[in-house]
Chain A
Amino acid sequence: MALWIWLIPLFIIVVIALIVVYYINRVVVLSNRIDNAWSQIDVQLKKRADLVPNLVETVKGYAKHEKSIMEEAIRARERMLKAGTPQEKIKAGTALSAALRSVFAIAENYPQLKASDNFKLLQEQLEGIENKIAYSRQFYNDSVLSFNNMITTIPGSWFASMLGRSKARDYLTVEEKERKPVKVEF
């Protein structure tokens, strides 16, 4: 009988310990998910930047005189690759996207370029990548929302401050025109 009474506080301690472990893990998991979401965006941004050399090579074959537009795209790519922080990367990415769009616009004046298989393939790839960038941003923002909800509500907020992760993370804001799938015909 006496033994049973001692088991009650033990049980309570175990339950509390489980709750603490759960919340601490949850804060860490949600915070890691944001980092993972960022790396998804990063991969896609890198892929988009890597389209540039191929694209320039293809366009050159048909439209030699459009040097300035192509140089602009190459410069935008270099800036993109040099960018360090997420904010810088997003900004450079937007510039690169605009530069790529103007390269694709060239094709309107060069029917042969527009009809070439290589060019069509690049167009499809760009469209796919742009969509994935939009989706990976969405996942990033969803992850930020989950994390921020966790660390601003009780009891998540207690554990977050214990772990030193009580700072709400920032959302990635997206310009409205970028949200739509890119149509490369103008």
Chain B
Amino acid sequence: MEKVNVFDQIGKNKRNSILLSFLVFVILFALVYFISQLFLPELAFFILIISFLLILADIYFSYNYGDKIVLRAVNAKPADERRHRYLIDTVEGLAIAAGVPKPNVYVMESDEINAFACGKDPKHASICVTTGALENLKRDELEGVIGHEMSHIRNYDVRFATLVAVLVGLAAIVSYMFLRTLRFGSFRSEDERKGGAIILIMFIIAILFAIIAPIVTRLVQAAISRRREYLADASGAELTRYPDGLANALEKIKKINEGKMKVSEAVSHLFISDPNRSPLDNLFATHPPLSERIRILRSM
């Protein structure tokens, strides 16, 4: 069904993506300019040329490989052809219903029920579902969740959301991945004592990142309209022709999820329901309240 607001949404997402890339470019370039003027004025010209190329490369890679970075950051694994057949079939079916190419299907380890989509356009998109969702959701509920993600893909929400995560939240993602490596002790090798100083420096950097990252990511998520979640709920229900499926799934999410998924704050706006609940949510909620979403779906 063609709806004008879906086309508006696609146009808006494409414009926002270009705007964001431009903004990040200008801010980074200005930053490099001031720092080089301050410390190395005689080399400023070379630094500017090199940083110009590096920033362009950063934006290019964020646009083309943002989905890979996000999937890596949450430790998603490609769905198994045999074991996750049921999930893959559901995704393929809803891709047909939405008239988009079949997205790649990923699964991530977590007891909580959650899912997200990422990618630069419908031809290069991925859908990732938690193991908790596969265990706890019935078929029509899973269809509801996938339908919601499929509309994010069709509306090009994924392009803007992925760019936001990677361009703005990169520091947060890197610090998160770094902290995770520290926690799992990949550094516990034989040259632990020799690398003591290096670890200390990295640790300080990580702590710095850990302080800056939440501030940046909160700002980022403020940029993402919460209206897009309602829109995706509605057009997802249009795909499955069964709004109660998604409503029941959200009900289960409300009951089971504790908001303690271990993912970077920078990617949390991609998920269907907030993966990290925090006291700050009262001030800047990253997701619309579940009870409101359920109420709207029930009234369809």
Contact = CB atoms under 8 A, between A and B. Distances in A.
Interface of A: 33, 37, 40, 124, 127-128, 131-132, 134-136, 138-139, 142-143, 145-146, 149, 181
B93 A145 contact: no
B190 interface: no
- Chain B contact surface mostly: helix
A135 B94 contact: yes
Nearest to A41: B96
Given A145-B1, A146-B1, A146-B2, A139 B96 contact: yes
A131 B93 contact: yes
A143 B241 contact: no
A135 B86 contact: no
A138 B147 CA distance: 14
B97 A135 contact: yes
- Chain A contact surface mostly: helix
Contacts of B1: 142, 145-146
A145 B99 CA distance: 14
B86 A139 contact: no
A128 B99 contact: no
Contact size class for B? 10 to 19
Contacts of A145: 1
B235 to A, nearest CB: 12
A136 B95 CA distance: 9
A146 B6 CA distance: 14
A132 B99 contact: no
A149 B2 CA distance: 9
A132 B139 contact: no
A128 B89 contact: yes
Nearest to B2: A146
A138 B86 CA distance: 20
A132 B85 contact: no
Interface in B73-110: 85-86, 89-90, 92-94, 96-99
Contacts of B97: 135-136, 138-139
28 contacts: A33-B99, A37-B99, A40-B96, A124-B85, A124-B86, A124-B89, A128-B85, A128-B86, A128-B89, A128-B92, A128-B93, A131-B89, A132-B89, A132-B92, A135-B96, A135-B97, A138-B97, A138-B239, A139-B96, A139-B98, A139-B99, A142-B1, A142-B99, A143-B99, A145-B1, A146-B1, A146-B2, A181-B139
